[in-house]
Chain A
Amino acid sequence: MPAHRTDLIERYLHAVKFWLPKAQQEDIIAELAEDLRSQVEDREAALGHELNEDELVAVLQKRGDPLEVASGYLPDQRLINPALLPVYKLVLKIVLLWVYVPLFAFIFLGPAFTSARPAAVLLVCCSEYWRAAFATVGMVTIVFALLDRYQLSHGRADDWNPRKLPRVPGAQDTGARWKHLAGSIFGIAAAACWVYLLWHRTEFSFPDGPRFVLAPVWGEIFWPITGLTLAGALIDLLSSLRPRWTRVRSYVRVGIDICGLGLAALLLKAGNLVDIAAGTLSVADRAKATTWIHVTSEWTLIILAVAVIGDGIQETRRLLRGKPAEPAAISTAA
């Protein structure tokens, strides 16, 4: 047998062997070698001469790339169960889009607007976002791969109940979703502004202008207001993702309204919310400005309290009306 033939075939077999499962390597390679030998002999008989190097190369090329040949013997492998793929995508979408984007906006929006180098802040924001996103994708993938490996999803196919399927969303649901989503974004932005403006701040001062000294009550209500604003944003986010969870939303909204009313009462009870300290203003002007601020803030708080009471009444009525109407399709079927 010519040396070039042995060399090429052995190199080919060795390349295929590399990709094969260890337990089957020898067996598969022996069969493949025998098949190649038979094919070469048949070809030589047809041509009437021994195959030269080019002809042998053509035979091996026709047989296919070693990796491709070996892959035919490998078991079907997958990282994630195709049945779990839609859930996997949904989890990534929720985390990367609906959690990380508002969170990063909350953290970086304030500094971006006030920094002397907003581009640098945005660059840090982007790089941190991608870092977090890559880590999250990796972790979520590992969790789903483990779910598939240990077959934790088994049994689901038999357990499902058509009655538990979500209602087909109508135009009204789509509108409500957008409304809640807008509310959520607004809530997060409001919380970001609130934290940025009042974080450890006791006064607002302007160069060559008056200083507005905040009353101590602002320090007391800083965290409660931050918490309530974020709670409102989160319940709006939940409502946009799960529009059918109206009762959960109503309960939380009523709770937020009661707390909001308590805070408004606390602020009204505190009286003067801001004092003006300014050397440039006359005593009379200072008194006038202080009174104006006091009256304006009291009226603002009263209007806010009325709005909160109105919202609370609306949500309570929703709760008292009972469960939301059943979907039309189920009613008809019944």
Chain B
Amino acid sequence: MHTNAASSEIFDNLRLELRRGCLVVAVLAELDMEHYGYALRKALDDHGLAIEENTLYPLLRRLESQGLLASQWREEEKRNKRFYRLSPLGEKVLPDLLEEWRQMNAALARILGERGLAGSPVLPSQRKEEE
């Protein structure tokens, strides 16, 4: 019981770390088109990347303070909304970031492929036990 709770907590923390960098890439990539916060969250969700509001909005502000995003308040459907999109700096950084992502992804795919883990979350040792 205790072990399960501990391993679940460890998994949650690792998942959080794994997601942190991915979310930045996803948000920057999605904001090559203008979005307001709620619409951006829905767009990410539609692509299978759910993100909590409490994560998204502080992230948007951090990226904006780093100069990667630009924002403006504008009225849409009779309501004031804050629209975000990539800034010139963001447009410059995003391709480099995506290239880094592709390299990491390819390296990880090679590592997993060599160990027979590419298509299955089960470790080879666990597979042998099952057989």
Contact = CB atoms under 8 A, between A and B. Distances in A.
Contacts of A73: 57-58, 61
A30 interface: yes
Interface residues of B, number: 14
Given A39-B38, A63-B53, A34 B79 contact: yes
Interface string A93-111: 0000000000000000000
Contact of A30 (B38, B53, B58, B80): B80
A223 to B, nearest CB: 61
A69 B54 contact: yes
Q: Is the interface of A mostly helix, strand, loop or mixed?
A: helix
Contacts of A69: 54
Contact of B54 (A31, A37, A38, A64): A64
A32 B38 contact: no
Contacts of A38: 38
Interface in A235-286: none
Contacts of A72: 54-55, 57-58
Contacts, number: 37
Interface residues of A, number: 16
Contacts of A28: 57, 61
Contacts of B81: 34
Interface string B50-84: 00011101100100000000000100000111100
A73 B37 CA distance: 15
B54 A63 contact: yes
A32 B80 contact: no
19 contacts: A24-B61, A28-B57, A30-B73, A30-B82, A31-B37, A31-B82, A34-B37, A34-B79, A34-B82, A35-B37, A35-B53, A35-B57, A37-B79, A38-B38, A39-B53, A63-B53, A63-B54, A73-B57, A73-B61
Interface of B: 36-38, 53-55, 57-58, 61, 73, 79-82
